[in-house]
């Protein structure tokens, strides 16, 4: 492998390298506590909302570096209304969940309408949404905490003590067999898809790219999947919130990389005028991005109230910043058109590990914020500088 | 023999993986206009960037001897102090600042904490007079035309006490008369002892102004031609640039069979999107047959682009009226998508702004206007996309390592080919090409002409908008001349000459007044 290729390779996987280094640092700093099964499980369920929100935020950022500031408030508002529906109005959980998702989408569409069709700057529109829905959350809850008692809802969305996928294979006290099996199954499917893609390409005579790198990547990813599922199996199994995260990440990973609408997000961010002249309705692309953000904020709202087993007017504060931060750390461009779902996952995991690691090490809350802020800046500086050097 | 003002000796500059300049030598005498010609990517701009300090001392090998001393410029400020001022191809003016503010940007008059505006505008107007600008220095740059903006750039250079003026494609965005005025201005500066280096693709300009011509090819100096000693004809220069003789600058079209009318526009009127009372296209009627190349000639601002864009699914203007017939049937196109569905394509004049996504790879750009063709149920088949991109890359002879390459890293000619590939893949019947060869070199132009010929040979119709008269004359079967939003004349291939086109424009202007 020549030098230039190596450089490109390193650049492509910069954040993964950083992630590994940070992980090693905290393993050392916490004497390995961060890798305990309990902590891995916590890392996932505590940060589930970040993964969900960051995925939606990526689509907004792709359209041209536009962000959505309202997500934290929407999370809170949807949670508040959902809580009222389930606890005060005693609606069935399924109905409440559907109504919450619908409400998220409607809120998203409300903001998306102004952004897409009247071209009100997203920053202003969502700043307004941030105030409006924070205020409304307070109104709905009357400024008080509303406990969520619906067992089914809490278990379904990953809160409380029993928020794990039940071990129906009957593993008893030892390893959780469902978690192990799921990990193995995921690897098998992944390997199958990769190999089939390669075989198809060879059959049709297309360029196969670097086969070695492809299989190398496959081995590494499978190793990570197996390691995580083993850790989960050692604790109580798969947290239900992880299931939601996986669903969101897989769907949106597929949309952004494989579908035409996914391609449009990148195209609009890359050059909106050219995209429009290519016969693509760019207004609609904006509309979809922000409506979808509302929908995912609703899901994040459900995850949040389930985990806390209550709805409070203060929930969701700074969630938008976590989501935006994960996107930029994960390599999304502040100018739009660049960024991937896997990148965002890496960004979110990095943020989560730093949070968790510092908490275990007993770092002061305020210092944690300082560190997170600096990490965000460093990530973007690193990204910009390495790109500059390359050109 | 005049004194040598500048000598660049054995300049070698390497970028990772490429040798952009290889032992280049350039000698410029005081008081001459020295033209630097070469194909895109030959290394002209790199050489000038070395000279002006954009690539600082130490990043290249070789010596720059200016005014008798070896110079070690670290940035543009260093070279400007010595009187070497470069005017880049893309204008570096800020639209919402006045002419005076722009001229002294970074070079403000008065104290750091208190700009002396009287001095600023007074001096600005002095320099503006030298370049023949009569505007107030307080006029905002956005309110003057491109031609005048170019003059502001030159005035800005004068304000920096330029002794050696480097102009990188100064006329690429100017029309014929503005270009001529600019070149005459350079000739008058020469009389006052100014030295100029001009980079240009327009060879008629080179023969008009240059005393010496240095030809660069593939990062190396090929030859220097001297006025009065060597043959400075366009053919001779082209031979140096491409390393072979181009027998014919416009490829012959084989059997051009002109068929039925493919598209017809009747009584088309368009108003400006912002100044809604201004008519930009005024009752225009044109038609194009199958297998025909129709040229639309005219000065900048004649309404040609506006006509094309408004026909292409109302992508420009308001209050559009008139009828559009495709294959004899009247259609109403609501947007660009509609237009593409009706097999229309508009290949923009502004490939960077309106045409390509520079930060995306060739394959993504190639398929953007016709993603349906490579996807099923909205899911993109990336292998197919790759294959399509490779197919068009080979068909159009686009020079690039792979189709994964970002379009922004390609030269202008290759970018234009990607843009053409994109629209050819959309499989249109009528292609509107807006300035298809702007800012690209002779060799690539020839290839683009060949592509146009292939398109009409396949029974498609091409409408070519161009400001270059030789190109219009060389390629079109029929020519419409546009002026001030109206059709000023229609000429057949046989009767059309440069003079006739110009006289159409002049006559229509005088009628309009």
> Which domains are assigned to chain B?
4-242 (3.40.50.300), 248-343+429-444+460-513 (3.40.50.300), 351-427 (no CATH)
Cα distance between residue A287 and residue A110, in whole Å:
9
Highest mean pLDDT (candidates A99-108, B90-99, B144-153, B398-407): A99-108
Residue B237 DSSP one-character state: H
Percent helix / strand / coil, chain A, rounded to 5: 75, 0, 25
For B346, the closest of A266, A275, A277 (CB atoms) is A277
Final residue in a domain of this structure, among A237, A255, A290: A237
Other Cβ atoms less than 10 A from the Cβ of A21: the count is 10
Question: By the 8 A CB rule, do B485 and B319 touch?
Answer: no
- pLDDT band for position B512 (cuts 50, 70, 90): very low
Q: Tell me: do A55 and A111 sit in the same domain.
A: yes
A105 lies in some domain: yes
Q: What is the pLDDT of residue A385?
A: 77
pLDDT value, residue B168: 87
**Ranges A247-261, A291-305, B401-415: which has the least confidence:** B401-415
Provide the shortest C-alpha distance from residue B232 to chain A (in Å): 37
User: Is A81 part of any domain?
Assistant: yes
pLDDT single digits (tens) B107-143 = 788 777 788 888 888 888 889 988 888 888 888 888 8
In Å, how far is B115's CA from the nearest CA of chain A?
34
Query: Phi and psi at residue A144, in whole multiples of 5°?
Result: -115, 165
Cα separation, B248 vs B246, in Å, equals: 5
Each residue of A55-79: pLDDT tens digit? 999 999 999 889 999 999 999 999 9
Q: By mean pLDDT, which of A228-232, B297-301, B350-354, B454-458 is the weakest?
A: B297-301
Q: Which of A83-97, B67-81, B251-265 has the highest mean pLDDT?
A: A83-97
Q: What is the pLDDT of residue B17?
A: 58
Give pLDDT, residue A1.
45
Indicate whether A318 and A345 sit together in one domain: yes
Does residue A158 sit within a domain?
A: no
| ipTM entry | 0.76
- Grade residue B216 by pLDDT with cuts at 50, 70 and 90: confident
Higher pLDDT, B276 or B380: B380
Q: Are A314 and A330 in a shared domain?
A: yes
Residue A201 CB partners (closer than 8 Å, separation 6+): A207, A208, B383
Across the interface, which of B17, B338, B379 has its CB nearest the CB of A4? B17
More confident: A100 or B511: A100
What value does the mean pLDDT take over residues B75-93? 84
How many CA atoms within 13 Å lie on the side-chain side of A73? Answer: 20
A211-234 and A37-46 are packed helices; what angle lies between their axes, rounded to 10 degrees? 100
From the list A201, A267, A279, the residue facing B337 with the nearest CB is: A279
Give the per-residue pLDDT at A387. 66
Q: What pLDDT is recorded for position B174?
A: 77
B93 contacts B141 by C-beta, under 8 angstroms: yes
Residues A184 and A39 in one domain: no
Considering the domain architecture, whether residues A267 and A125 belong to the same structural domain is answered as yes
Count: domains in chain A: 2
Could you tell me how far CA A311 lies from the centroid of its own chain? Answer: 22
Please tell me the distance in Å from A279's CA to the nearest CA on chain B: 4
DSSP H or E stretch at residue B184: helix B176-191
State residue B513's pLDDT score. Answer: 41
A38 in a structural domain: yes
Average pLDDT over residues A114-120: 94
Q: DSSP letter at B429?
A: S
Task: Say yes or no to pLDDT of B86 above 80.
Answer: yes
Instruction: State the Cα–Cα distance between residues B359 and A338, nearest whole angstrom.
Output: 8
Shared domain for A131 and A274, answered yes or no, is: yes
Bridge partners (DSSP) of residue B140 are B98
Beta strands B212-217; B220-226: pairing state: antiparallel
pLDDT at A73: 96
Q: Is the pLDDT of residue A391 over 50?
A: no
In chain B, which residues have their Cβ closer than 8 Å to the Cβ of A280? 336-337, 368
Pairing mode, if any, of strands B164-168 and B84-87? Answer: parallel
Q: Are A61 and A327 in contact (CB under 8 A)?
A: yes
CA distance A122 to A116: 9
* B261-271 sheet: strands from edge to edge: B279-289, B261-271, B318-326, B329-331
Tell if the CB–CB gap between B383 and A204 is shorter than 8 Å. yes
Pick from B16, B354, B387: CB nearest A4: B16
Residues A56 and A189 in one domain: no
Q: Judge residue B331's burial from the number of C-beta atoms within 10 Å of its C-beta, 0-12 exposed, 13-18 middle, 19 or more buried.
A: middle
Task: Check the CA dihedral A318-A323-A324-A325 and report its sign.
Answer: positive
Residue B145's CB is within 10 A of a number of other CB atoms, namely 13
**Residue A6, by phi and psi: left (phi above 0), alpha (psi -120 to 50) or beta?**
alpha
Residues A20 and A136 in one domain: yes
Write out pLDDT tens, residues B450-469.
Answer: 999 999 998 899 999 988 88
Shared domain for A142 and A169, answered yes or no, is no
Cβ-defined contact of B375 to A338 (cutoff 8 Å): no
Q: What value does the mean pLDDT take over residues A203-211?
A: 74
A148-A151-A154-A155 Cα dihedral, nearest 10 degrees: 170
What's the rounded mean pLDDT across residues B197-222? 86
CATH (domain of A21): 1.10.3470
Contact call for residues B15 and B45 (beta carbons, < 8 A): no
Mean pLDDT for the stretch of residues A282-294: 95
- Select from B336, B364, B380 the Cβ nearest to the Cβ of A279: B336
- Contact criterion met (CB below 8 Å) for B330 and B324: yes
Looking at residue A59, what is its pLDDT?
96
Residue B68 in contact with partner chain A when CB distance is under 8 A:
no
Chain A residues close to B432, C-beta within 8 Å: none
Per-residue CA distances from B45 to A246, B20, B52, B210, B334 (Å): 51, 10, 10, 18, 43
Q: Which residues pair with B15 in a beta bridge?
A: B18
Residue A379, domain member (yes or no): no
In a domain, A79, yes or no: yes
Q: What pLDDT score was predicted for residue A8?
A: 67
Query: Could you tell me which residues are beta bridge partners of residue B375?
Result: B380
- Phi then psi for A311, rounded to 5 degrees? -115, 135
Which one of B335, B341, B360, B364 makes the best mutation probe of the A interface by having the most chain A beta carbons within 10 Å? B360
DSSP state of B109: S
CB atoms B375 and A260 under 8 Å: yes
Distance between CA atoms of residues B54 and B347, nearest Å: 33
Burial of A216 (0-12, 13-18, 19+ CB in 10 A): exposed
pLDDT tens digits, B51-76: 888 888 888 888 899 888 888 888 88
Q: Rounded to whole angstroms, how far apart are CA atoms B513 and B502?
A: 17
Average pLDDT over residues A371-381: 84
pLDDT at A388 over 70: no
* Residues A111 and A250 grouped into a single domain: yes
In a domain, A159, yes or no: no
Three-class DSSP category at A100: helix
Q: Are residues A212 and A260 in the same domain?
A: no
Distance from the B391 Cα atom to the nearest Cα atom in chain A, whole angstroms: 11
Nearest to B346 by CA among B229, B234, B426: B426
- Which chain A residues have any C-beta within 8 angstroms of a chain B C-beta? 4, 200-201, 204, 206-207, 258-263, 266-267, 270-271, 273-281, 337-338
Interatomic CA distance for residues B49 and A285, integer angstroms: 41
Helix (H, G, I), strand (E, B) or coil at B175: coil
CA B215 – CA B200 distance, rounded (Å): 11
**Three-class SS of residue A86?**
helix
User: Which of B312, B353, B386 lies nearest to residue A273, judging by beta carbons?
Assistant: B353
Same domain, A42 and A26: yes
Chain A residue with CA closest to B310: the answer is A277
> How far apart (Å, rounded) are the C-alpha atoms in residues B40 and B45?
9
Q: Which residues contact B376 (CB under 8 A, 6 or more apart)?
A: none
From chain B residues 420-449, the ones with a CB under 8 A of any chain A CB are 422, 426
DSSP labels, A130-171: HHHHHHHHHHHHTTS-EE---HHHHHHTT-STT-B---TT--
Q: Which of B14, B45, B10, B38 is nearest to B24 (CA)?
A: B10
Contacts of B188 (CB under 8 A, 6+ apart): none
Residue, of A70 and B493, whose pLDDT is higher: A70
DSSP at B214: E
Question: Chain A contacts of B59, Cβ < 8 Å?
Answer: none
Contacts of B356 in chain A (CB under 8 A): 271, 274
Instruction: Give the residue from chain B lying closest to A7, CA to CA.
Output: B16
- Nearest 5°: the CA angle A259, A260, A266 is 100
Cα torsion A108, A110, A115, A119 to 10°: value is 170
Residue B148: CA count within 13 A, CB half-sphere? 18
Burial class (CB in 10 A: 0-12, 13-18, 19+), B334: exposed
pLDDT at B19: 74
Pairing of strands B461-465, B430-434: parallel
Distance CA A363, CA A34 (A): 14
Q: How confident is the model at residue A161 (pLDDT cuts 50, 70, 90)?
A: low
Q: Is the CB of B407 inside 8 Å of chain A's CB atoms?
A: no
Q: Which residues of A touch B389 (CB under 8 A)?
A: none
**Would you call B380 an interface residue with chain A, using a CB distance cutoff of 8 Å?**
yes
Domain, as residue range, for A218: 164-237
Q: Which of B339, B345, B354 to mutate to test the interface with A (most CBs of A within 10 A)?
A: B354
The answer as to whether A275 is a domain residue is: yes
Q: What percent of chain B has pLDDT over 70?
A: 96
Look at residue A108 and tell me whether its pLDDT is greater than 80: yes
Name the domain boundary from A237, A256, A286.
A237
Contact list in A for residue B313 (CB cut-off 8 A) is 279
Does residue B123 sit in helix, strand or coil?
Answer: helix
The mean per-residue pLDDT over the stretch B379-404 comes to 89
Q: d(Cα A199, Cα A188) in Å, to the nearest integer?
A: 16
Contact assessment for residue A10 and residue A389, using Cβ atoms and an 8 Å cutoff: no
Chain B residues with CB inside 8 Å of A207's CB? 386, 390
- Pick among A273, A279, A386 to test the B interface (most B CBs inside 10 A): A279
User: Which residues on adjacent β-strands are paired with residue B430?
Assistant: B344, B461
What digits encode the pLDDT tens for the residues A238-256?
888 899 999 999 999 999 9
Alpha-carbon gap, residue B270 to B280, rounded angstroms: 6
Beta bridge partners of B24: B11
Q: Choose the final residue of a domain: A237, A262, A291.
A: A237
């Amino acid at each position: 492998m020549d030098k230039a290729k190596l450089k490109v390779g390193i650049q492509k996987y910069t954040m993964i390298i950083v992630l590994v280094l940070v992980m090693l640092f905290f393993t050392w700093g916490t004497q390995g506590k961060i890798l305990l099964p309990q902590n891995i499980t916590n890392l996932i369920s505590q940060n589930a909302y970040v993964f969900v929100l960051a995925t939606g935020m990526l689509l907004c950022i792709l359209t041209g570096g536009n962000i959505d500031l309202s997500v934290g408030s929407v999370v809170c508002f949807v949670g508040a209304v959902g809580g009222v529906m389930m606890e005060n109005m005693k609606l069935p959980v399924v109905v409440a969940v559907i109504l919450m998702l619908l409400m998220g989408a409607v809120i998203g569409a409300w903001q998306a309408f102004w952004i897409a069709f009247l071209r009100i700057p997203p920053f202003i529109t969502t700043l307004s949404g941030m105030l409006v829905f924070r205020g409304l959350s307070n109104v709905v809850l009357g400024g008080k905490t509303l406990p969520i008692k619906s067992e089914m809802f809490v278990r379904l969305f990953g809160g409380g003590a029993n928020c794990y996928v039940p071990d129906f294979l009957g593993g008893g006290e030892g390893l959780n067999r469902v978690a192990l099996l799921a990990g193995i199954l995921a690897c098998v499917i992944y390997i199958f898809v990769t190999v089939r893609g390669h075989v198809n390409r060879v059959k049709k005579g297309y360029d196969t790219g670097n086969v070695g790198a492809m299989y190398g990547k496959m081995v590494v990813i499978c190793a990570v999947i197996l390691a995580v599922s083993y850790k989960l199996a050692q604790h109580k199994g798969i947290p239900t919130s992880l299931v939601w995260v996986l669903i969101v990440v897989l769907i949106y990973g597929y949309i952004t990389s494989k579908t035409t609408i996914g391609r449009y997000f990148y195209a609009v961010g890359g050059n909106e005028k050219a995209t429009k002249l290519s016969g693509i309705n760019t207004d609609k692309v904006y509309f979809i991005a922000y409506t979808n953000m509302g929908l995912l904020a609703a899901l994040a709202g459900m995850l949040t109230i389930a985990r806390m087993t209550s709805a409070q007017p203060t929930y969701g504060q700074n969630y938008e910043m976590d989501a935006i931060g994960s996107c930029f750390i994960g390599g999304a461009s502040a100018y739009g058109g660049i960024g991937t779902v896997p990148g965002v996952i890496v960004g979110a995991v990095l943020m989560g590990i730093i949070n968790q690691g510092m908490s275990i090490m007993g770092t002061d809350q305020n210092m944690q914020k300082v560190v997170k802020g600096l990490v965000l800046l460093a990530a973007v500086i690193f990204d910009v500088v390495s790109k500059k050097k390359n050109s | 023999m005049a004194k040598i003002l500048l000598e660049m000796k054995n300049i070698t500059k390497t970028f990772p993986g490429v040798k952009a300049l290889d032992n280049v030598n350039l000698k410029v005498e005081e008081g001459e206009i020295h033209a630097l010609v070469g194909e895109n990517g030959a290394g002209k701009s790199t050489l000038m960037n070395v000279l002006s300090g954009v690539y600082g001392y130490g990043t290249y090998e070789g010596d720059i001897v200016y005014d008798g001393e070896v110079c070690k410029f670290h940035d543009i400020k260093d070279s400007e102090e010595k009187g070497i001022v470069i005017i880049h191809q893309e204008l570096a003016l800020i639209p919402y600042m006045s002419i005076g503010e722009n001229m002294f940007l970074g070079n403000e008059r008065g104290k750091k904490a208190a700009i002396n505006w009287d001095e600023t505008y007074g001096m600005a107007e002095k320099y503006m007079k030298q370049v023949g600008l009569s505007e107030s220095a307080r006029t905002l740059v956005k309110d003057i035309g491109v031609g005048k903006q170019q003059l502001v750039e030159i005035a800005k250079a004068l304000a920096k006490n330029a002794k050696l003026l480097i102009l990188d494609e100064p006329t690429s965005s100017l029309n014929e008369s503005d270009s001529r005025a600019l070149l005459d201005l350079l000739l008058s500066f020469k009389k006052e002892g100014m030295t100029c280096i001009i980079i240009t693709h327009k060879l008629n300009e080179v023969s008009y102004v240059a005393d010496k011509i240095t030809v660069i090819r593939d990062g190396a100096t090929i030859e220097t031609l001297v006025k009065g000693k060597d043959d400075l004809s366009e053919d001779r220069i082209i031979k140096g640039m491409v390393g072979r003789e181009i027998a014919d600058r416009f490829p012959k079209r084989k059997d051009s069979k002109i068929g039925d009318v493919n598209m017809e526009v009747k009584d088309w009127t368009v108003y400006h999107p912002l100044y809604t009372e201004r008519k930009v296209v005024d009752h225009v009627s044109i038609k194009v047959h199958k297998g025909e190349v129709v040229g639309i000639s005219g000065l900048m601002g004649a309404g040609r682009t506006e006509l094309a864009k408004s026909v292409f699914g109302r992508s420009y203007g308001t209050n559009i009226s008139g009828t559009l017939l495709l294959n004899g049937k009247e259609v109403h196109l609501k947007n660009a998508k509609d237009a593409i569905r009706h097999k229309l394509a508009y290949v923009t004049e502004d490939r960077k702004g309106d045409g390509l996504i520079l930060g995306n790879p060739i394959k993504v750009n190639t398929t953007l206007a016709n993603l349906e063709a490579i996807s099923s149920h909205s899911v993109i088949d990336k292998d197919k996309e790759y294959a399509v991109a490779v197919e068009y890359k080979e068909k159009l002879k686009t020079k690039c390592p792979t189709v994964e390459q970002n379009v922004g890293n390609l030269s202008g000619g290759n970018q234009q080919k990607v843009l053409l590939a994109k629209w050819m893949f959309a499989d249109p019947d009528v292609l509107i090409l807006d300035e298809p060869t702007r800012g690209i070199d002779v060799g690539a132009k020839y290839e683009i002409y060949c592509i146009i010929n292939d398109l009409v040979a396949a029974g498609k119709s091409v409408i070519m908008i161009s400001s270059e008269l030789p190109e219009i004359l060389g390629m079109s079967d029929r020519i419409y001349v546009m002026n001030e939003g109206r059709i000023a004349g229609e000429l057949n291939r046989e009767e059309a000459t440069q003079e006739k086109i110009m006289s159409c424009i002049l006559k229509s202007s005088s009628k309009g007044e």
